[in-house]
Amino acid sequence: MANNGPNWDGLLKWSLSHSDVASSPSRRLSEEDRQWFMEAMQGHTIDSISRMKQISQIMKMPEQVLDSQGVTSDDLEGMLDELQEHVESIDLANDLHSIGGLVPLLSYLKNSNAKIRAKSADVLTTVVQNNPRSQQLVMEANAFEPLLTNFISDPDIRVRTKALGAISSLIRNNEPGIIAFRLANGYAGLRDALVSDTVRFQRKALNLIHYLLRESNSDCKIFRDLGFPRILIHLASNQDLEVREFALRGLLELAREESERNLDRADVKLRQLLEERTRRIIAMSDEDLNAVREERELVDTLWTMCYDEPSQLRERGLVYLPCDDEQAPDVVNDRFEPPLRAWAARRHDETSEPPVPLLLGPAQ
Q: Domains in the chain and their CATH numbers?
A: 44-146+175-184 (1.25.10.10)
Is the predicted pLDDT of residue 217 greater than 60, yes or no? yes
| Averaged pLDDT, 208-215 | 94
Question: DSSP assignment, residue 358?
Answer: -
Closest CA to 210 of 306, 311, 29, 335: 335
pLDDT tens for 237-296 read 999 999 999 999 999 999 987 767 889 999 999 999 999 999 999 999 999 999 999 999
**Residue range 140-150: mean pLDDT, rounded:** 96
pLDDT of residue 67: 85
Asked if 42 contacts 88 with a C-beta cutoff of 8 angstroms, the reply is no
Whether residue 310 is predicted with pLDDT greater than 50 in this model: the reply is yes
Instruction: Write out pLDDT tens, residues 28-81.
Output: 556 665 555 455 444 445 588 989 999 999 999 888 888 888 889 999 999 999
Pairwise CA distance, residues 173 & 67, whole Å: 40
Q: At what angle do helices 114-128 and 90-98 cross, to 10 degrees?
A: 120
Neighbours of 95 (CB within 10 A): 20
> What predicted TM-score, i.e. pTM, was given to this entire model?
0.77
Instruction: Kindly give, in sequence order, each residue whose CB lies less than 8 Å from that of residue 231, ignoring residues fewer than 6 positions away.
Output: 191, 194, 195
Q: Given CA atoms 318, 242, 205, 338 in this order, what sign does their dihedral have?
A: positive
CA distance 146 to 106: 8
Whole-number Å distance between alpha carbons of 306 and 265:
6
Q: Which helix (H) or strand (E) holds 76?
A: helix 73-86
Residue 343 CA to residue 258 CA, distance in Å, equals 36
Biggest CA–CA distance in the chain, Å, is: 74
